[in-house]
């Protein structure tokens, strides 16, 4: 696992700490979960944006 350094606003840190406390997790664990969830959504949207792209195309014979 690689460490990163990220600058966050104090308000965001307070929010993150509250979520971590609610979940009984560390701040780092909550961040890892958030990045993983964001990545899954982004990858899914990447595929879905192409559904129906040729819907108006007429079949050639």
In a domain, 2, yes or no: no
Distance CA 61, CA 44 (A): 33
Distant-in-sequence, close-in-space partners of 29: CB < 8 Å, separation ≥ 6: 20
Q: What is the pTM of this model?
A: 0.67
Looking at residue 41, what is its pLDDT? 82
In this structure, is residue 16 part of a structural domain?
yes
**Residue 30 domain flag:** yes
Confidence of residue 54 (pLDDT cuts 50, 70, 90): confident
Q: How many domains in the chain?
A: 1
- Report yes or no on 26 lying in a domain: yes
In a domain, 5, yes or no: no
Tell whether 61 is covered by a domain: no
Structural domain including 30 reads 10-48
């Amino acid at each position: 696992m690689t460490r990163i350094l990220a600058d966050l606003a104090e308000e965001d840190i307070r929010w993150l700490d509250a979520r971590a406390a609610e979940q009984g997790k560390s701040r780092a664990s909550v961040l890892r979960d958030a990045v993983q969830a964001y990545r899954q959504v982004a990858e899914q949207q990447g595929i879905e944006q192409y559904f129906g792209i040729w819907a108006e195309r007429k079949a050639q014979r």
